[in-house]
């Protein structure tokens, strides 16, 4: 090898491959693509999560009852086919930091988004229904009607309709028309009915009871009997006077209506054997008033009990037309029975 050759630098071929800068650019692109895919997947998941399907028809509602949880509610709307998951509403509720649930029925018609669903259930007005309790209804009848018309458990109402000693508040739940939350709180309905009773109670109620040697609750029992025994307001005061006259003479009241509280009659009549039915509500056997009211009286019967006129009547009879006829002696009463129950008017 000559000297010129020895001084010539060796030329080498470049190694195939990417430069570090090129590697960094490619990695950034991959990361970017992956990030875009993650964003797209997240967006798809979010859209699926908040997607709701509007529901229609008579079942397009949910009922939130006392003690229900957001989890239970979330499962309800999923069961209706409204959300994509049994947990969707629950997760959204937590995301929105929603508060506690409010009882009632909520109509879901035209609710087209998760946000609208949340706003309805978190702060929207629940449905209310108007329920009328006729005068003379018992607490049991009120409970049945409330369940049928307002979706409030009859058992829950009967549990709430008791005093501190567990005694049924018969006679003290004023029969009226009430707007109540559908599937709402039974205790709230009872409180309103008690409040209405206190509002309409004659101001001299306790004084009038004391004048007759009765407690306020005993006078309510009299009003409940008047309610059940009469059809027309004009007859109520004299019927009340008959009750007071018999009590004063320590006569048995002998009223079918008190027995009817515990023993249903056949067509409004009792057999001789049934009149011997052993119950403190059987005023054919037990003297004085029954142990509780036999219904929830209306205002006319309450006023009649509080302000019954003095009379000399000890008997009364409801004629076929519903009006009452009164008698001073049993002989007069027997004639009335013969006259009016034999088809007269």
Contact (CB, 8 A) for 294 and 261: yes
Contact (CB, 8 A) for 196 and 167: no
Sequence-separated contacts (24+) of 214-218 with Cβ below 8 Å: 217/171, 218/289
**What pLDDT was estimated at residue 46?**
44
Report the share of the chain in percent with pLDDT over 90: 59
Mean pLDDT for the chain overall = 86
User: Binning pLDDT at 50, 70 and 90, where does residue 31 land?
Assistant: low
Q: What is the pLDDT of residues 40-69, one digit of tens each?
A: 544 444 445 455 655 555 568 888 887 889
The helix or strand, by DSSP H or E, that contains position 316, with its residue range, turns out to be: strand 315-318
**What pLDDT was estimated at residue 44?**
40
**What pLDDT was estimated at residue 203?**
95
**What pLDDT was estimated at residue 137?**
98
Q: What is the pLDDT of residues 101-153, one digit of tens each?
A: 888 888 888 787 888 888 888 888 888 999 999 999 999 999 999 999 999 99
**What pLDDT was estimated at residue 13?**
54
129 SS3 class: strand
Query: What count of other Cβ atoms lies within 10 Å of the Cβ of residue 326?
Result: 19
Whole-model pTM? 0.77
Mean pLDDT along residues 224-230:
98
Instruction: State in Å, rounded, how far the first CA of the chain is from the last one.
Output: 154
The helix or strand, by DSSP H or E, that contains position 123, with its residue range, turns out to be: helix 114-123
Residues of the chain with CATH 3.30.1490.480: 128-200
| pLDDT over 70 at 165, yes or no | yes
**What pLDDT was estimated at residue 37?**
47
**What pLDDT was estimated at residue 114?**
83
State the DSSP code for 63: E
State the DSSP code for 126: P
Contact (CB, 8 A) for 185 and 63: no
Closest to 224 (Cα-Cα) out of 208, 243, 248:
243
Mean pLDDT along residues 311-329:
96
61 SS3 class: strand
Report the CATH fold assignment for 128-200: Dna Ligase; domain 1 (3.30.1490)
Q: How many angstroms separate the CA atoms of 44 and 159, rounded?
A: 49
Q: What are phi and psi of 45, to 5 degrees?
A: -65, -40
**What pLDDT was estimated at residue 180?**
94
State the DSSP code for 179: E
| 179-183, 208-212, 234-238, range with the lowest pLDDT | 179-183
The helix or strand, by DSSP H or E, that contains position 177, with its residue range, turns out to be: strand 177-181
């Amino acid at each position: 090898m000559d000297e010129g050759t020895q001084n010539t630098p060796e030329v080498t071929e470049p190694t195939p491959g990417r430069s570090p800068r090129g590697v960094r650019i490619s990695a950034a692109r991959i990361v970017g693509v992956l990030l875009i895919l993650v964003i797209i997947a997240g967006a798809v998941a979010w859209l699926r999560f908040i997607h709701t399907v509007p529901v229609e028809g008579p079942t397009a509602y949910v009922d939130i009852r006392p003690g229900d949880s957001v989890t239970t509610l979330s499962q309800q709307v999923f069961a209706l086919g409204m959300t994509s998951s049994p947990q969707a509403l629950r997760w959204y509720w937590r995301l929105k930091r929603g508060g506690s649930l409010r009882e009632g029925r909520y109509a879901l018609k035209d609710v087209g988004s998760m946000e609208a669903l949340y706003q309805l259930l978190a702060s929207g007005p629940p449905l209310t229904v108007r329920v009328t309790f006729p005068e003379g209804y018992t607490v049991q009848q009120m409970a049945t009607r409330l369940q049928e018309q307002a979706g409030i458990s009859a058992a829950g109402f009967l549990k709430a309709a008791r005093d501190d000693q567990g005694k049924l508040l018969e006679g003290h739940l004023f029969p009226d028309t009430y707007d109540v939350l559908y599937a709402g709180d039974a205790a709230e309905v009872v409180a309103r009915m008690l409040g209405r009773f206190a509002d309409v109670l004659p101001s001299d109620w306790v004084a009038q009871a004391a004048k007759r040697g009765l407690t306020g609750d005993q006078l309510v029992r009299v009003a409940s009997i008047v309610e059940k025994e009469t059809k027309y307001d004009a007859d109520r005061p004299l019927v009340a006077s008959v009750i007071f006259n018999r009590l004063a003479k320590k006569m048995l009241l002998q009223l079918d209506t008190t027995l009817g509280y515990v023993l249903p009659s056949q067509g409004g009549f009792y057999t001789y054997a049934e009149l011997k039915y052993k119950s403190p509500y059987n005023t054919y056997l037990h003297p004085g008033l029954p142990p509780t009211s036999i219904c929830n009286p209306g205002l006319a019967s309450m006023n009649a009990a509080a302000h019954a006129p003095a009379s000399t009547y000890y008997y009364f009879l409801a004629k076929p037309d519903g009006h009452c006829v009164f008698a001073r002696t049993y002989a007069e009463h027997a004639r009335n029975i013969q006259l009016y129950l034999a088809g007269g008017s």
